[in-house]
Amino acid sequence: MEKSTYLVTVSGPDRVGVGAELFAALSSLSERNAHVIDVAQITIRGTLVLCAEIVVDSSVGPGEVEEALHARNIVGEGISATVQLVNPSDVVHGGRLLVTLLAPSISALQLEQIFGAIAKSDSTCERIVHLASYPVDCYELVVRGPEESSLREALAAVAKSADLDLAVQRAGLHRRAKHLVVMDADSTLLQQEVIDLLADACGCAEEVSRITEAAMAGEIDFAESLRRRVALLAGLPESVIDDVRAKLKLTPGARTLLHTLHRLGYVPAVVSGGFVEVLAPLLAELHVDHLEANRLEIIDGKLTGRLAAPIVDRAGKARALERFAKEVGVPLEQTVAVGDGANDIDMISVAGLGIAFNAKPVVQEHADAALSVPYLDAVLYFLGISREEIETQ
């Protein structure tokens, strides 16, 4: 027998028992071979919208479905119900993408621009979740469309003009599987550049700063720039390392990020062009067990101005991420890399999700997503973790 598909929509003031009444009504149609094939619900400020898609014998008209709803006393007290015949050809086919929008605040105009881009790409939004309203505004959209690449390009262009941070990812259960989250240290996990603090101690801050800026912008090779900067530190006493560590400040949201990752079973790691001697004790306090960084050569209690091991450069960071992924037991598509400088580009490119954090344009060009807000825990929203989940103890 031929089948018909109906969309049943119940809306109005939420009250106890509405869902039970709806499904009781639909189950009363079981003799007419009625089957529920999809359900969705949202409640905002006490207002309910509950939808059920059902398939029934074509002999069942919308009036019969409506009678079943009325028989269960769903309608009334401000609640209405509609039954709509669905044409299968009206359904948008294609893959699902998760689109995350983030900004200090998101206006109706910005949302209009995003939804306009979705429509122009012949795509539809199937779900919207408000992940956070503070300290930033964040929405996650599930979008289905026939052509993913054109949708990505359109959304990226609109996000840039509308001053929105954007991430577009493949939808799927892998979002909530165990992840490895790898962060750069300087100007990402930390507010400062460790080499600059060491330079302050030796009176060569200005020269080191110039080399650092050139390296972060990708103007000179990172390994060479690091050798030049470390050479300027020759003669500093080993005790300066403890002094520098005492001055380190975590980026706002860093502790929240790490605490939440640990609590939800994710694995944090740090891969840095900085120095093990400075970072290791701090990361031990933060319960970060995976660290890859450079080592300073120290002889007779003084820095020699040389590095004691092969340099952790741009390529070395990517290799470290791949090694940590194998050790933790997650595929690369379940890794996240967060960084700000040119030496993070390979790591960001290799990861399943690469995030440029307040980064130079050259880094943003290689990243899947860019954050321009100063809060490191905003990374969690790109993993689909809401503010409510973050604040759950």
**Residue 280 is inside which H or E element, if any?**
helix 276-285
Does residue 186 have an active-site annotation? yes
Residue whose pair of structure tokens reads 């493949």 in the numeric block? 170
Whole-number Å distance between alpha carbons of 64 and 61: 6
- Selection from 338, 351, 343, 345 nearest residue 251 by Cα: 338
**Residue 180 is inside which H or E element, if any?**
strand 180-183
User: In this structure, what DSSP letter does residue 379 have?
Assistant: G
Instruction: Give the tokens for residue 147.
Output: 């052509």
- Reduced to 3 states (helix: H, G, I; strand: E, B; else coil), residue 348 is helix
Annotated active-site residue in 14, 186, 313, 368? 186
Whole-number Å distance between alpha carbons of 242 and 278: 7
Annotated active-site residue in 14, 137, 165, 184? 184
Whole-number Å distance between alpha carbons of 317 and 219: 18
Beta-carbon contacts of 112 under 8 Å, excluding residues fewer than 6 positions away, are: none
Whole-number Å distance between alpha carbons of 116 and 122: 10
The alpha carbon dihedral of 279, 280, 283, 288 has a sign of positive
Q: Are 100 and 69 in contact (CB under 8 A)?
A: no
The neighbouring-strand residues paired with 338 are 183, 355
Whole-number Å distance between alpha carbons of 49 and 47: 7
- Reduced to 3 states (helix: H, G, I; strand: E, B; else coil), residue 308 is coil
Q: Are 300 and 315 in contact (CB under 8 A)?
A: no
Instruction: Give the tokens for residue 89.
Output: 């050809």
Whole-number Å distance between alpha carbons of 115 and 102: 15
- Selection from 91, 156, 86, 149 nearest residue 117 by Cα: 156
Question: Which residues are known catalytic residues?
Answer: 184, 186
